[in-house]
Structure 1
Amino acid sequence: MIQRLPPSLTSLDTALAALLRGVDPIAPIELPLAEAAGCIAAGTPLLASYPPYDAAAADGWALRANDLVGASSYSPLPLTKAPAWVEAGEPMPYGCDCVLDADAVDISGPLAQVLAEGVPGQGVRRGGSDIAEHTPAGAEGYPVSATALLLARVAGGNGLSVRRPRLRIVNVPDATATTHMIADIACAVGLDVETHQAGTRDAASIAEALDASACDLLLTIGGSGVGRQDAAVKALAQRGDVIAHGLALQPGRTAAVGRLGKVPVVALPGSPDHALAVWFALALPLIDRLSARRPRRSATLRLARKIASNVGIAEIVLLAEEHDAWMPLAVGEWPLQAIAGADAWLLIPGSSEGFAAGTSVDAYLMRE
């Protein structure tokens, strides 16, 4: 099927610059730890040391190593009093610096006897060994990871300050599968996502769902082409401003960008590959600006084979890592199987004809 395009195409750089104009980072909010995963850390707190004291690392007998020199099963060392028994995690008794296993002390006779030597720190978790005093909970400007949440929980924290952009997705009928894909990706990167269904594909129904009063970014999915039933861009023109319709981007040429008041709007095509490409090229930079995100993770590898690109059109290439090299999976049109198997994506600017085999390229990772 021949894809009908808008009469003219706007360069990706021009559309993105217009879309980002006037967009500033949103204010941080405090979220419970259970809700902070994936959000962008903002002003991370400094944690208290953990453990807050020297603690037993295992169940056993708490003793002082210098008192046990020469002790063995052949030459038991009698003690004037029975040693203290400690459970893992309990504070070490005063003056004790090691923990011996249960069978290293014989208490069956009238006197306790030690059957093994110990060394200072044996069986002991030193205070601050897991978390040093004033360790930040995560890195500001980066996603809150599972390990950052572990540190915060262990140190007794209840919440974290994060930036969590609010995303409203309007699903135009017949684009449901694509909408679910984009919503799932958005949730995974820490956005507060609300999905709304337009009643029909006509402009009036879509326009009714274009409510930017409680969001920082609005996406429509489906209906961005120039077919008789593609009315998402017409709906945006009725409610707000259309900056550009038709981008020099492949996949994703029928996408549009605009605004509802101060809220940026991106109209994604209904096809999964075109929608995902526009998400990479336009939505992610907006999200990064709104959340004050530091640069995304990328990896530099050589290309296993050449990539040819058309001058004048920015193209996004899906890559898989094979034998320490990037193997191009799809250029221009992306089969679903290629999307599922991709490890990274590479944006080829419109000014480039592509890259020769063996060229080292820096590609963004699909999963961080």
Structure 2
Amino acid sequence: MSTAAPRTAGPDHLWSVDEHLDDILATVRPLEPIELNLLDAQGCVLVEDVTVPVSLPPFDNSSMDGYAVRVADVAGASEQYPAALEVVGDVAAGQADLLHVGPGQAARIMTGAPLPPGAEAVVPVEWTDGGLGEGPVAGMRARSVAPEAATGQVCVYRPAEARAHVRAEGSDVKAGDRALRAGTVLGPPQISLLAAIGRGTVRVHPRPRVVVLSTGSELVQPDGELRPGQIYDSNSFALTAAARDAGAIAYRVGAVADDAATLRDTIEDQLVRADLMVTTGGVSVGAYDVVKEALSYAADEDEPGSGIDFRKLAMQPGKPQGFGSIGPDHTPLLALPGNPVSSYVSFELFVRPAIRTLMGLTDVHRPRVRAELTAQRALTSPKGRRQFLRGRYADGTVTPVGGAGSHLVAALAQADALIVVPEDTESVPPGTEVEVVLLG
């Protein structure tokens, strides 16, 4: 893992959102490239251009079930005066030994089969009598090619131009062409192309492994029984899902009780499978904020350059944050606040870009647009803090969803955007154009 050391500042320094994000992105580096099999490379980013080794398709082939013919032999063919051709045999997909089509002849051909020597076009079976020798009848024929071997003659009821229904060699890509550029994210279509040109493996930045754990003795698994003072653990599920949505391989760790030693042991155990660690809860100034207690050190004597810096950010929600690296490989760790909305907003602003950077992507941020605020009343925001409010975006407008409380999970579930209120703005009247972060 290659990381730079995060910046540090005095305990009273109030970090801006941009300063904190810049520090994260200056610290995190793309993961080292590896060679992966195609399906294992899904969702990964190519680190080098891929050149086509063999043209696609590699030979002229038929795009229809029908008959391979010479153009002159079907010129002027019609329902009344069909062209009667001798059928010299079949050409199937994958066939290596090809028969020759001479004057007055045709070969029954299947979709994807090589165009036989001598043939210049393919007439679909619907333009023929299907080799049944019925002679002309009114209307277009719509027969299937009979399953038995082609013999006898076929009547063709329409002319065909040269290369009709023929897929030309290299008409998709030619040998030597660039199939995919470095930096391409490999989705199903890209993997299909790689397989089609014969590539079984590719060199990529691997998808980062992200370990998510939440802290708090009050947390209970969703299928457990709540006792007085307890709540269900939603943060670890939300952040694990968000990490997977961002492109990571994410592992959720069960909630850790408010004990610093237990938390340290858990984190050390998880480092073996982590390219990035994310904690939620325990980063404020309370008596039981165990993440700060467990990880708040400038550096480890045995691990120079490591350490977690806990900060206050000029934002709402999500003022308390932690960032640094831990372990012998200097694994990046982002410590997020515990309130559900604070945690999720922090993930979108800071963790998601870190994941995308580890993947080797250059565009790591959610898209942002300008939209007209539609609301019953003006939005208020604390002076000196950048506020992120949940909203729904549609057709150039955005509407707030729920209140500003950082515990309102139901409102978060209805939102598909974040409304950004700048630090120097305390009131935003309806109709104002605002910046919007699109989450969908």
- Global fold match (TM > 0.5): yes
Q: 1:298 is matched with which residue?
A: 367
Matched, 1:208 2:208: no
Q: 1:111 to 1:204 in 2, by over 3 A?
A: closer
Q: 2:399 is matched with which residue?
A: 327
Which deviates more, 346-355 or 229-238?
346-355
User: Does the residue aligned with 1:152 lie in a helix, a strand or coil?
Assistant: helix
Which deviates more, 236-245 or 85-94?
236-245
Q: 1:77 is matched with which residue?
A: 83
Superposition pairs of residues 19-168 of structure 1, within 5 angstroms: 19-47=24-52, 48-79=54-85, 81-106=104-129, 107-109=131-133, 111-131=153-173, 133-134=175-176, 136=178, 138-163=180-205, 164-168=207-211
Which deviates more, 333-342 or 241-250?
333-342
Which deviates more, 330-339 or 27-36?
330-339
For structure 2, list consecutive stretches of 5 or more residues without a partner in the other structure: 1-10, 87-103, 134-151, 220-231, 301-305
The question of whether the paired residues in 2 share the 8 Å contact of 1:300 and 1:360 is answered with no
User: Does the residue aligned with 2:296 lie in a helix, a strand or coil?
Assistant: helix
Largest Rg, 1 or 2:
2
Could you tell me how far 1:301 is from its partner in structure 2? 4.5
Could you tell me how far 1:34 is from its partner in structure 2? 2.0
Matched, 1:171 2:214: yes
The question of whether the paired residues in 1 share the 8 Å contact of 2:421 and 2:434 is answered with no
Could you tell me how far 1:325 is from its partner in structure 2? 3.0
Could you tell me how far 1:75 is from its partner in structure 2? 0.8
Which deviates more, 357-366 or 113-122?
357-366
Could you tell me how far 1:93 is from its partner in structure 2? 1.6
For structure 1, list consecutive stretches of 5 or more residues without a partner in the other structure: 1-5
Q: 2:224 is matched with which residue?
A: none
Q: Aligned partners of 1:75, 1:142: CA distance in 2, in Å?
A: 55
The question of whether the paired residues in 2 share the 8 Å contact of 1:142 and 1:294 is answered with no
Q: Aligned partners of 2:119, 2:381: CA distance in 1, in Å?
A: 70
Letter of the aligned partner of 1:343 in structure 2? D
Q: Aligned partners of 1:52, 1:320: CA distance in 2, in Å?
A: 50
Q: Aligned partners of 1:356, 1:129: CA distance in 2, in Å?
A: 57
Post-superposition Cα deviations, 1:246-295, rounded to whole Å, max 9, x if no partner, equal: 32222222332233253322112233311111112211232233333122
Q: Aligned partners of 1:360, 1:136: CA distance in 2, in Å?
A: 43
Q: Aligned partners of 1:353, 1:141: CA distance in 2, in Å?
A: 41
Identity of aligned residues (%): 27
Could you tell me how far 1:29 is from its partner in structure 2? 1.8
Q: Aligned partners of 2:403, 2:49: CA distance in 1, in Å?
A: 40
Could you tell me how far 1:74 is from its partner in structure 2? 0.4
How large is the Cα RMSD of the aligned pairs?
Answer: 3.2
Q: Aligned partners of 1:97, 1:307: CA distance in 2, in Å?
A: 71
The question of whether the paired residues in 2 share the 8 Å contact of 1:9 and 1:253 is answered with no
Q: 1:282 is matched with which residue?
A: 350
Superposition pairs of residues 243-258 of structure 1, within 5 angstroms: 243-258=309-324
Matched, 1:235 2:278: no
The question of whether the paired residues in 2 share the 8 Å contact of 1:198 and 1:209 is answered with no
Matched, 1:184 2:257: no
Could you tell me how far 1:323 is from its partner in structure 2? 3.0
Matched, 1:345 2:390: no
Q: 1:365 is matched with which residue?
A: 438
For normalisation by structure 1, the TM-score amounts to 0.83
Q: Aligned partners of 2:176, 2:422: CA distance in 1, in Å?
A: 44
Post-superposition Cα deviations, 1:301-326, rounded to whole Å, max 9, x if no partner, equal: 43243765433212223343323433
Q: Aligned partners of 1:353, 1:126: CA distance in 2, in Å?
A: 65
The question of whether the paired residues in 2 share the 8 Å contact of 1:251 and 1:274 is answered with yes
The question of whether the paired residues in 2 share the 8 Å contact of 1:250 and 1:333 is answered with no
Q: Aligned partners of 2:429, 2:195: CA distance in 1, in Å?
A: 49
Which deviates more, 12-21 or 53-62?
12-21
Q: 1:168 to 1:56 in 2, by over 3 A?
A: same
Q: Aligned partners of 1:309, 1:278: CA distance in 2, in Å?
A: 18
Q: Aligned partners of 2:118, 2:315: CA distance in 1, in Å?
A: 70
Could you tell me how far 1:134 is from its partner in structure 2? 5.0
Post-superposition Cα deviations, 1:118-144, rounded to whole Å, max 9, x if no partner, equal: 233433333333445556555533532
Could you tell me how far 1:360 is from its partner in structure 2? 5.7
Q: Aligned partners of 1:102, 1:75: CA distance in 2, in Å?
A: 17
